[in-house]
């Protein structure tokens, strides 16, 4: 049985929701392995729109088991609200189809406040976070003072863990002139919600081993994009987790040999939300056109996305870093009206040509893209399901991307609708 990891090959927002939904229909288990409720996946099934932030995409399908792995940071209140919201749309959610790792770390109210305090104080140096406490929660995890799902089982243990984490956070809050957090109030709130979280709690590593023994098909669902990876992205303008495919193993508790195929979701142009370098960004009418036709607004924050030409150098680099076997090209139809389309194939830095994205943010902000130009196709591709029916110029652009980035294109999306997909190869059947 194939186990597949789905990752974003750019800065996120590549259209993973549609592809993951299509794959989740074939999978038995769908697992989130990193990030928090800062990620947003939009699914449209039978005319009903689901906006998922923390729940895996498999949750909206019957007879699928959805898993939140140990690599995810969980805001327990946000999770309960999301479960209620999805249930109101007729989706059944219970212990039989949702599992939360007992080792998952919790996002608490002081994490959200610290996120906001830092962003507001940063001015022009702000990162552009979603202000949901993700980064501060991961900091506490690495600092070994975090509250985990399993800590909710015992009031005595929770009291001790809160004592430890609040010593740290209240010292910082005092220094910033902010009101300190009261342990007893927070403990009471956590104990009140604990039963709702603990009923889903299980050792995920053990469950995955059982799934593998039963030959279940597992889909590992990534959030954000590789260029937001804390090690391999545009640091410091990144998220606080590892978004590369290999973190599917550490974020769930299975070995890398559990992964059989890595699918990179890749937009036919480039977008970015928040601050940070963006070599091919367009601040002109074409950038506006891409944003309008592509409906480029964040699922979670509704923030307008920055838009630009396809950056082949970046995608080629993320394919190598994440071991991507094939790419699902999305939003091809957004380019239908353009006379000319460009793809970045090199950069210029300090008068010299380079063929990779440099690690230093100073260099990332200085590089200038070098483009290869392609004639547009000036006709509608929306809804096409067979590659032979695409305009010749569209096919040429697709094949040029495939050749340049060095990974096979497994599918091409020609509209937001799940059915409007040109399937070249099915990762579950290779």
Residues 6 or more apart from 419 whose CB is under 8 A from it? 385
Find the DSSP H helices in 51-154.
76-87, 109-122, 134-142
Higher pLDDT among residues 291 and 416, named by residue: 291
Q: What is the mean pLDDT of residues 292-298?
A: 86
Query: E strand or H helix at 164, and its extent?
Result: helix 155-175
pLDDT tens column, 116-154? 887 777 666 666 667 889 999 999 999 999 999 999 999
Task: Average the pLDDT over 382-389 and give the result.
Answer: 94
Q: Report pLDDT for 299.
A: 62
Listed in sequence order, the DSSP H helices in 25-129 are 76-87, 109-122
Share of residues in the chain with pLDDT > 90 (%)? 81
Q: What residues are annotated to the active site?
A: 13, 41
**Displacement of CA 152 from its chain's centroid (Å):** 27
158, 186 in Cβ contact below 8 A? no
Mean of pLDDT over the chain: 93
pLDDT at 423: 94
Using CB atoms within 10 A of its CB, is residue 218 exposed (0-12), middle (13-18) or buried (19+)? buried
State which H helix or E strand residue 98 sits in.
strand 98-101
Confidence band of 43 (pLDDT split at 50, 70, 90): confident
Residue 301 has pLDDT above 70, yes or no: no
Does the predicted TM-score (pTM) go above 0.85? yes
CA distance 369 to 367: 7
Residues 6+ apart with CB under 8 A from 380: 333, 336
In this prediction, residue 51 has a pLDDT band, given cuts at 50, 70 and 90, of confident
117 prior amide bond cis, ω within 30 = no
pLDDT tens track for 11-41: 999 988 888 888 999 999 999 999 999 767 7
Average pLDDT of the residues in 107-123: 84
The mean per-residue pLDDT over the stretch 81-89 comes to 95
Q: What is the mean pLDDT of residues 406-420?
A: 91
Per-residue pLDDT of 150-185, as tens digits, reads: 999 999 999 999 999 999 999 999 998 889 999 999
pLDDT at 33: 97
Residues 61-77 have a mean pLDDT of: 96
pLDDT, residue 115, reads 84
Q: Which of the residue ranges 77-86, 239-248, 249-258, 412-421 would you say has the lowest mean pLDDT? A: 412-421
Structure tokens at 388: 């032979």
* pLDDT tens-place string over residues 219-235: 999 999 999 999 999 99
Pairing between β-strand 352-354 and β-strand 306-308 as defined by DSSP bridges: unpaired
CA distances from 364 to 192, 249, 267, 308, 380 (A): 47, 30, 21, 15, 35
């Amino acid at each position: 049985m194939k186990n597949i990891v789905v990752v974003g090959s750019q800065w996120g927002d590549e259209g993973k929701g549609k592809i993951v939904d299509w794959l989740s229909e074939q999978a038995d288990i769908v697992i989130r392995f990193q990030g928090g409720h800062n990620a947003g996946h939009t699914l449209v099934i039978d005319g009903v729109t689901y906006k998922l932030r923390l729940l895996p995409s498999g949750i909206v399908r019957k007879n699928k088991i959805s898993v939140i792995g140990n690599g995810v940071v969980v805001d327990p209140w946000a999770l309960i609200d999301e479960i209620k919201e999805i249930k109101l749309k007729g989706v059944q959610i219970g212990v039989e189809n949702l599992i939360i790792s007992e080792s998952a770390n919790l996002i608490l109210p002081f994490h959200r406040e610290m996120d906001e305090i830092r962003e507001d104080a940063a001015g022009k140096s702000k990162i552009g976070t979603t202000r949901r406490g993700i980064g501060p929660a991961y900091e506490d995890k690495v600092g070994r003072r975090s509250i985990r799902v399993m800590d909710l089982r015992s009031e005595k243990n929770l009291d001790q863990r809160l004592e430890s984490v609040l010593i740290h956070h209240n010292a910082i809050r005092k220094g910033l002139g902010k009101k300190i957090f009261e342990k007893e109030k927070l403990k009471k709130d956590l104990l009140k919600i604990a039963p709702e979280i603990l009923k889903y709690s299980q050792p995920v590593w053990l469950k995955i081993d059982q799934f593998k023994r039963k030959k279940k098909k597992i889909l590992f669902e990534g959030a954000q994009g590789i260029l937001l990876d804390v090690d391999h992205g545009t640091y410091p303008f990144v998220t606080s987790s590892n978004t590369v495919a290999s973190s599917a193993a550490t974020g769930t508790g299975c070995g890398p040999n559990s992964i059989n195929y890595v699918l990179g979701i890749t937009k036919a142009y480039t977008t970015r939300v928040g601050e940070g370098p963006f070599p091919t960004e367009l601040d002109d009418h074409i950038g506006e056109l891409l944003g309008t036709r592509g409906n480029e607004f964040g699922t979670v924050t509704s923030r307008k996305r920055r838009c630009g030409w396809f950056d082949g150098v970046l995608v080629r680099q993320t394919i190598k870093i994440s071991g991507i076997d094939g790419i699902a090209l999305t939003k091809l139809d957004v380019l239908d009206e353009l006379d000319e389309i460009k793809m970045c194939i090199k950069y210029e830095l300090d008068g010299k040509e380079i063929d990779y994205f440099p690690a230093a943010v100073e260099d990332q902000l200085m590089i200038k893209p070098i483009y290869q130009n392609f004639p547009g196709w000036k006709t509608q591709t929306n809804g096409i399901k067979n590659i032979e029916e695409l305009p010749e110029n569209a096919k040429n652009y697709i094949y040029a991307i495939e050749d340049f980035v060095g990974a096979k294109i497994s599918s091409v999306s020609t509209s937001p609708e799940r059915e409007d997909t040109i399937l070249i190869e099915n990762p579950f059947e290779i």
